[in-house]
Chains A and B, each alone.
Chain A
Amino acid sequence: MSAATETLVLTNEELAFFRMTCDVFPVPESPLRFLDEADAEPAEPETTFARLGTRNLLSAGHNGASQQVHDRLRVVAECNGRVLWTVRQKGGTRVRDYYLADGSYVEYSHNQAGEHHFGQVRPESALVVELAQKFAVKKPQGGRLLRMSASDYLVFAVFARDLRAAPATTSGESMSIEEVLAYFDEPEQPSARAKTDQGWQASIDALQKQKVLVKTKGGYELDPQLQPLVREIVADHQHTIVRFDFLDEEWLVREISLYPTPDTVYRFGTEPDGTVAIEELSSRALSDLLAGVVGTLPNLLASEAVPTLRSKSQ
C-alpha cells in the first residue's frame, strides 16, 4: 500500500503480527475475530516485521502499524455495523462487504489464500454516494409510488403479464374482467377461485382509482406510464442493500431491494400495513432512501433530532 487510496492486503501472519503489537482488538461480530479465537501469534515475527517495514506499513518508530493501517484495521476489528451490497444478475451474484464504526466504513474481503483486503477509511456518506452512482436515474425528483393490497397486486401482475407477452411496439390490449379472472382459474382445481368475482372487480376498481388501470371500450388496460416498468423489470437483475447494527445479541436490520431499468430504478417492498409498494425513484429519493438504509440512525434523544431521510421520500 503506497497510497491512501489503494487496497491494503494483509496475510494471516501479518494480522497476527499487528494483533501482537496491540493494533487489532476484534469484537465478536468482526471478520477478524478468528485472530482472538485462535489466539493467533506470528509464526515468523522477525521476517514479518522486516516485510511490513519494507512495505511501509509500520509506524515511524516501527513499534506497530502505521496510522493508515491502524485506522483501517480498527474499523473492521471494532465494527458496530455492517453493510452487505448484493448484486444479482444473469452472470451470477456479487457481494460487497463494508464494515462500519463511528460513522466511517471500510470495504473488506478475504480469500481462500488467506489474504485480507481492506479498502480505505471513508465516511458513511461516501458509501451512499458510491451506491447511488451505480444507478442511472434520469428523473431528479418526483417518482411515482404505488401501494396496493396483495390482491390488487396480483391483478396488476396479470395486466403486466399480458403486456409483456405483447410486441414491444404495442401498448397491449384491453382485458375484460372475465379475461382477468381466467388467470385465476386452475384446471385441476376448478373450485379454487375462492375470491368472488366482486372481489376481483374491487381490485380492478382500486387499481383504476390509483390510475394504474385505465378503462377502455373493451375493458381495462395498464396506464401507459407504467408500461416501461412492467416491460423492463427483471427479477434477476436486483440490488439488495442490508445494514446490520450490532447490539450484541440483537441486531438492527435495515434493507432495500432495488430493480434498475435503463432509465430509472424501482424500489420493491412490503409495508408494515400489509400493502406492497413499488416506488419509482428520482435521484433525490434514491439518495434519501440509501442514506436511510446505510447511514447511522439519528439521535432521537436530541431535541433537534431530524426526522428521517426515509420519510422525506415517501
Chain B
Amino acid sequence: MIGDSKIGGPGIGPPVTLPTEPDPPATPAASPAPVAARDKFELAAAADRPGGAAAQTGSSSGLRELSRGDDLLQLARENPAAARQVVADFAAKTGTILNEIERELAGARVLCDQLAKERFNRKALEASRRELRKQRSMLTTLKLRHQLTCRKMALLQQIAGRLGDPRLDEEIDRILTKHKRLKTSWGRRQHLLSAGTVLYGSDAESPAHLSHVVKTPVRTAGDSEQTGETLAKISPRLLLADLMARTLDGSTRPEADESAPSESSSALCGELGPSVRNWSLFSALVDDVEDEDPFE
C-alpha cells in the first residue's frame, strides 16, 4: 500500500505505459502502476517482435519509437515505489530475453561449427547462408529488445524524473535578439557568460549530481559517431568555459581551430534536431565574441 491506495490502483501517480509482453511480471506484486494504457509501447513492441516491422526492415525505428520515456519519468518522479516495480518487471523481462538470445545464439553456433569444419568455404557458406541470415535477424531483434529494456531501466533508475529540460530552446530567439542589440564587445561577452541559467535542466528537486547533466533530443538518423563529435564541439557549456579562459588570458580563437562551430553545418541545418540546431546557433555567438578581445 502507498497512501490510501494499492500500487497500481486508481488515483496514484500519473498514467504510465507498461510493457505488454507475453511474459507475466516475475514479481508477485500487483499490477505495477496505474494503467491508463497508452498504445505507444505496445505498438512499438509489436513492431520489434520477431517478424515485426523492425525485424523485417532491420532498421532501428522500433527502438526509437520505444525510447520516449516521458511517462516513465513522470512515474518515477511522482511514485518511486511504482517505478521500482516497473524496473523489477523490466529486469524480469531482460532475463527472459537473455535466455532467448542464448537459445538462438546456440543455434547459430551450431551452424558456424559446421561452417568452421568446412573452413568457411564458399560452397558451404552458400548452403547455409539463408539459415544463418535468419538466425542473425532473429538475434538482432532480440538484442534490440534487450537494449531497449535496459535503456528504459537506466532511464528510470538514473534520472528518476528529476531532470528537466534546459530552457535554451525556449530562450534562443530572445538571446539572439538581445545579443544583436548589445553595442560593446565586453557587453556581448558578459551576456553570454551569464547564460548558465538556460543551459541546464535541473530544478529544485534535482539532486546535486544531476545539476550538470543535460538531456538533449538528438536525431541520430545518420552517423552517430560524427554526431557525438559535433555535440562535443558545439556544447554551449564547454564553449562558455573556453570563453572564460580566453577572457582571462586575452586570447582569441585561432582561425584554423577545427572546433570552430561553423564547421558543424549539419547541426546548424537542423539535421540533428532543433535542440542541436539551437546549440549551434548559440555556439556561433560564442565564436563571434571570441574573435576579438574586449579589453584590447
Do residues B69 and A236 form an inter-chain contact, with CB atoms below 8 A? Answer: no
Known contacts A45-B122, A274-B197, A300-B160; A249/B249 CB under 8 A? no
**Size of A's binding interface in residues, CB under 8 A:** 95
CA A259 to CA B245, docked complex, whole Å = 9
Count A-B pairs with CB separation below 8 Å.
Answer: 285
- From 31 to 52 in chain A, residues with beta carbon under 8 angstroms from any chain B beta carbon are 31, 33, 36, 39, 45-46, 48-50
Decide if B27 is an interface residue (CB 8 Å cutoff).
no
Query: What residues of A have a CB within 8 angstroms of the CB of B144 in the complex?
Result: 27
- From 137 to 195 in chain A, residues with beta carbon under 8 angstroms from any chain B beta carbon are 149-151, 153-154, 156-158, 160-161, 164, 183-184, 186, 189, 192-194
Partner of B162, one of A39, A246, A248, A300: A300
Decide if A91 is an interface residue (CB 8 Å cutoff).
no
Known contacts A192-B187, A307-B207; A257/B116 CB under 8 A? no
**Least Cβ–Cβ distance between B113 and chain A, in angstroms:** 5
Interface size class of B (residues with CB under 8 A): 35 or more
Partner of A238, one of B156, B214, B242, B258: B242
Main secondary structure of the interface of B (DSSP, over half): helix
Do residues B119 and A253 form an inter-chain contact, with CB atoms below 8 A? Answer: no
Produce 1/0 per residue, A122-149, CB < 8 A to B. 0000000000000000000000000001
Known contacts A36-B58, A63-B109, A247-B67; A257/B248 CB under 8 A? no
Do residues A300 and B159 form an inter-chain contact, with CB atoms below 8 A? Answer: yes
Do residues A301 and B125 form an inter-chain contact, with CB atoms below 8 A? Answer: no
Partner of B229, one of A49, A62, A84: A84
**Least Cβ–Cβ distance between B31 and chain A, in angstroms:** 18
Query: What residues of A have a CB within 8 angstroms of the CB of B150 in the complex?
Result: 80
Partner of A151, one of B156, B190, B240, B250: B190
A residues in contact (CB < 8 Å) with B? 17, 19-22, 25, 27-31, 33, 36, 39, 45-46, 48-50, 61-64, 78, 80, 82, 84, 86, 88, 93, 95, 149-151, 153-154, 156-158, 160-161, 164, 183-184, 186, 189, 192-194, 230, 233-236, 238, 240, 242, 244-255, 257, 259, 268-276, 278, 292, 296-302, 307-311, 314
